[in-house]
Structure 1
Amino acid sequence: MVLVVEASPVFGAESQGTSSPQSRYGLRCASCHGASGKGDGWRAKLSWLKMPNFSDSAYMQTRSDDDFLIAIKQGRKSVMPAYGLELPEREIKDLVALIRSFDKAPAPPKPAGTAR
Structure 2
Amino acid sequence: MSSDGAYRHHSLPIDVTPVQLERALWVLVAISLVGDVVTTFIGLHLGLAESNPIARGAIEGYGLAGMLVLKAFAIGVGLVCRPLLPRAYRPIVPAGLALPWLLAVFINMYMISLVI
Q: Which has the larger radius of gyration?
A: 2
Q: TM (normalized to structure 1)?
A: 0.27
Q: TM (normalized to structure 2)?
A: 0.27
